[in-house]
A and B are shown apart, each in its own frame.
Chain A
C-alpha cells in the first residue's frame, strides 16, 4: 500500500505502531523505556504476589501456592490460599495501585510532588466518613459510598478555602493539611464516643490494614480502578502538557480546566475507594509515583508505572507487616508509615526539580 504515513521514522526512543482504516492513517507512539519499565514492574509485582501467597503462618512452596490458586492439591493449603491470602492479595494490589495512581494524577495536576490525597487530607476525609458508617452514626450507607462522600467533602472544603484549582501548589497543600487534621480529629472523636467494641471494629480503618476486608468494598475498588486506568490512559497526553504552565498548555489547544477537573475527580474517587478497603495508607500515593518517576524517563508522566509500583509497595509492606512480628500482625499502614516518613523527609529536603511551582 502506498500510504503517505507508512514507515515514518518515529522520534528517538519510541516505537510507532500504525494502521490504516479506510482512507485514514492512525498511529500511536510507544515509549520504549516506559514499556520496559512497566514490564519489569509487572514481573516484580507477580514475584511479590507469589511470595505473599507462599509466606505466612503456613508456609507453602510456590508450586503448592499456585496449585491452591487453581483449587488443586492439599485442601488445607487450597483453603488458606483461596479464602485468606488471595483476597488479601487482591485487596493489596488494588489499594496500592489506586493510591499510587491517585497520587500521581494529583501531583501532576497540582504540579507539586507533595500534593497527594494522603497529604492534602482527602484520605482523612474519606476515613472519617467511613468510620462514621462503621460505628453506625446517622447513616446506613456502606463504607465505599461514605468514603467517596467524605473524600469529596474534604476536597470541596480544601478547594473553597485555598480558592484555586491547584495552580498554586503550596496554598492548596497547606490548606489540605489543615482540613485533613480536622477530619483526623473528627475520626478520633467518633471513636471516643462509641462503645469499645464498635471502636475496635473501626480501629483498622484509622491505621490502615488489609486484614479481613469486606468483599463488597473490594468489588467497588476494582471497578473504580478499571475505569480509573482507562481514563488515566486517555489523560496521559494531557498530563504531559500540564507539566508546562497553564498558558503553554492552553496555547497548545488543551482545555486546561477540563483536564484538571477530570484528573482531580479520578484521583479523589480512587483514593476514597481505596480508603474504603484499607483505610488511609496514603503514603503509598507518595512512594509509588516516586519509584515510577525514578525509573522512567523525563518525557512522560508514568501513570501505569505508578499504579504498578504502588501495588508492589502495598503487597510488600503487607507481607512485611504479617511476617515481622508473627503471629502478631503489624497493620500495613504502620509499615508504610515507617518507610514513608523518612521518604517524605527526603522529598522535602531534596533540591526541587525545576518544574515545581
Chain B
C-alpha cells in the first residue's frame, strides 16, 4: 500500500542509532491491585525498552500482567499509580506529563472499544484529532488532511460514512486503528487488537500494523497467539507472573523450554518455510507427555 508514504508522523526514522533514548521505556516498574491482604502484585520490578520504529509483541499466559503492562505504558496508570519505578516517554516520567501532551505523543487502542450508537467511521476517526484541537480550534486544514490520510492508510475511504455497528469486526478494528493514526503520534500501543477476529480479519489488522511500522511508527501490542506474534513482530517480550522472562527477536527467543514455561505445553518448533518465523507444531499438554 503506497498510501503510507503520505502518513505524516513525527516518528523518527527506523534506523536510529542505539544510544538514543528509547521512545518508551519502563524502569523498575512495580504495580499492584487491591488493598491489605488482598493486595496482589501484577507487575514486579520490570525493565523494558521498546525498540524505535519496530513492532513489539507482548505475550504470556492469561493473568501474567501483559495488559496491565500495556496500560501502564499508555499512562492509564494515571488511573492507577505505580508502587515503584516509572514509565519514561523519551526520557520523561509519564506521570508528570499533561494528559493532552501524552495524547499527542502516544496513542492507545484499548481492548474494550465500545462506541456510541450510530457513530460512523469518519466521525470516529475525527475524534482522533481531539488532542490537537481545543475549544476555539475545532477544525483546521491539518485536521481535514490527517483524517483523509488516516482513512486512506486504513483503506477505509469507501466506508467512511458507514456506522461502526454495521461493519465487520476487522473493518471496525481498522477504523479504531485509523483513529489512533489520526492522533499522529510516533508511538502506538494496541491491547489484543486481533483477539476477537477470524483469520482473514486478523491478517488485515496485522498488515496494517506492519505498514505503520514501515512508515516509522514505534508499536507495541499484546497478542494472545504466539505464532502470529512471531510472524508479525520484530521484538518479542514474554511475560510470566509480572516479570519478563525473555525478550528479543522472535526467532532467537522462542524455544520449546519457553513455551513450556509460559503455557505449560510441550511442542515441536519448526521454521515457517516461507517467512522463517518460528512455528509451533505437535502441541500437547506437558502432563500428558511426561506420563
Q: How far is the CB of B187 from chain A (nearest CB, A)?
A: 11
Tell yes or no: A250 within 8 A of B by CB: yes
Asked if A261 is at the interface (CB within 8 A of a chain B CB), the reply is no
The answer to whether the Cβ of A59 comes within 8 Å of any Cβ in the partner chain is no
A26 at the B interface (CB under 8 A): yes
Kindly provide the distance from the CB of A237 to the nearest chain B CB, expressed in whole angstroms. Answer: 7
Is residue A25 within 8 Å, beta carbon to beta carbon, of the partner chain? yes
Q: How many residues of A contact B (CB 8 A)?
A: 38
Interfacial chain B residues near A159, Cβ < 8 Å: none
Q: How far is the CB of B238 from chain A (nearest CB, A)?
A: 24
B165 partner residues in chain A, CB cutoff 8 A: 354
- The answer to whether A8 and B127 touch (CB under 8 A), given A251-B107, A252-B103, A354-B117, is no
- Do the beta carbons of A253 and B115 come within 8 Å of each other? no
**Quick one: which of B119-158 are within 8 Å of A by CB?**
119, 122-123, 126-128, 130-131, 135-141, 143-144
Q: Judge whether B116 and A244 touch: CB under 8 Å.
A: yes
Which of the four size classes fits the interface of chain B?
Answer: 35 or more
Q: Contacts A246-B79, A355-B115, A355-B116 known; A253 to B104 CB distance under 8 Å?
A: yes
Cross-chain contact A25 with B71 (CB below 8 angstroms):
no
Q: Which of B178-223 contact A (CB under 8 A)?
A: 180, 183
Residues of A close to B139: CB separation below 8 A? 8, 10-11, 14, 16, 27, 29
Structural contact, A27 and B115, CB atoms closer than 8 A: no
Is B45 interfacial (CB 8 A cutoff)?
Answer: no
Cβ contact of A298, chosen from B103, B110, B116, B130, cutoff 8 A: B116
Interface residue? B74 (CB, 8 A): yes
Q: Does any Cβ of B come within 8 Å of A22's Cβ? A: no
Q: How far apart are A264's CB and chain B's nearest CB, in angstroms?
A: 17
**Does B114 reach chain A (CB closer than 8 Å)?**
yes
Interface string of A237-260 (1 = CB under 8 A from B): 100110111111011111111000
Chain A CB within 10 A, most for which of B75, B104, B123: B123
Nearest-neighbour CB distance to chain A for B40, whole angstroms, equals 18
A28 at interface, CB cutoff 8 A: yes
Cβ-defined contact, A25 with B140, below 8 A: yes
Given the known A-B contacts A26-B137, A234-B135, A245-B110, are A298 and B104 also in contact in the complex, defined by CB atoms under 8 Å?
A: no
Q: Are A250 and B118 touching (Cβ within 8 A)?
A: no
* CB of B100 closer than 8 Å to a CB of A: yes
Distance in angstroms between the alpha carbons of A241 and B99 in the assembled complex:
14
Q: Bound state CA distance, A253 and B79, in angstroms?
A: 13
Q: Assess whether B140 is in contact with A27, with CB atoms less than 8 Å apart.
A: yes
Residues of B near A250 (CB, < 8 A) are: 75-76, 78-79, 99, 108
Contact of B102 with A by CB under 8 A:
yes
Q: Which of B118, B127, B141 contacts A4 (CB 8 A)?
A: B141
Residue pair A27, B137 in contact (C-beta under 8 Å): yes
The answer for the CA separation of A254 and B161 in the assembled complex, in Å, is 26
State the Cβ distance, A34 to closest chain B Cβ, in Å.
14
Interface residue? B19 (CB, 8 A): no
CB B37 to nearest CB in A, in angstroms, measures 18
CB-contact partner of A243 in B116, B128, B144, B161, under 8 A: B116
The verdict on B113 contacting chain A, using a C-beta distance below 8 Å, is: yes
Measured CB to CB, the closest approach of chain A to B214, in angstroms, equals 23
Return A300 CB to nearest CB of chain B, in Å. Answer: 10
Q: Are B118's CB and A253's CB within 8 A? A: no
- B144: chain A residues at CB < 8 Å are 8-9
Contact B131 A252 (CB under 8 A): yes
Pairwise interchain contact A354-B103, C-beta atoms closer than 8 A: no
- Closest CB of chain B to A230's CB: distance in Å? 12
Interface residue? A193 (CB, 8 A): no
- The residue of chain A having its C-beta at the shortest distance from the C-beta of B112 within the complex is A245
**A322 vs chain B, min Cβ distance (A):** 39
- Smallest Cβ-Cβ distance to B180: which chain A residue: A251
CB proximity of A58 to chain B, nearest CB, Å: 48
A350 within 8 A of B: no
When chains A and B are docked, how far (Å) is the Cα of A14 from the Cα of B143? 15
| B-contacting residues, A220-276, CB 8 Å | 234, 237, 240-241, 243-248, 250-257
Q: Which residue of A lies closest to B147 (CB)?
A: A11
Report the minimal beta-carbon distance from A27 to chain B, rounded to whole angstroms: 5
Report the minimal beta-carbon distance from B125 to chain A, rounded to whole angstroms. 10
Q: A247-B71, A250-B99 are in contact. Are A27 and B136 (CB under 8 A)?
A: yes
For B118, the chain A residues whose CB sits under 8 A away are 297-298
Whether a CB of chain B sits under 8 angstroms from the CB of A5 is yes
Please determine whether B102 and A253 come into contact, CB atoms closer than 8 angstroms: yes
For window 1-51 of A, CB contacts with B under 8 Å fall at 4-5, 8-12, 14, 16, 25-29
Cβ-defined contact, A298 with B119, below 8 A: yes
Of chain A, the residue at the smallest CB distance from B119 is: A298
CB contacts (< 8 Å) of A257 on chain B: these are 79
Smallest CB gap from B130: residue in A: A252
Q: Which residues of B contact A354 (CB under 8 A)?
A: 114-117, 165
Q: What residue in chain B is nearest A236 (Cβ atoms)?
A: B135
Bound CA span A38–B137, Å: 23
The 0/1 profile, CB within 8 Å of A marked 1, for residues 39-80 of chain B is: 000000000000000000000000000000001001110110
Q: Closest approach, in angstroms, between the C-beta of B96 and any C-beta of chain A?
A: 14
Asked if A244 and B115 make an inter-chain contact with CB atoms under 8 angstroms apart, the answer reads yes
Return the CB mask of B3-41 against A: 1 if under 8 Å, else 0: 000000000000000000000000000000000000000
A82: min CB distance to chain B, Å: 40
**A interface residue numbers (CB < 8 A to B):** 4-5, 8-12, 14, 16, 25-29, 234, 237, 240-241, 243-248, 250-257, 297-299, 353-355
Interchain Cβ contacts under 8 Å between A and B, 19 examples = A8-B143, A8-B144, A11-B126, A12-B161, A27-B138, A234-B135, A244-B114, A245-B114, A250-B75, A250-B76, A250-B108, A253-B103, A253-B131, A257-B79, A297-B118, A298-B117, A298-B118, A355-B114, A355-B117
6 further interface pairs, Cβ-Cβ under 8 Å (given A4-B141, A27-B139, A27-B140): A27-B138, A241-B127, A244-B114, A245-B112, A250-B78, A251-B107
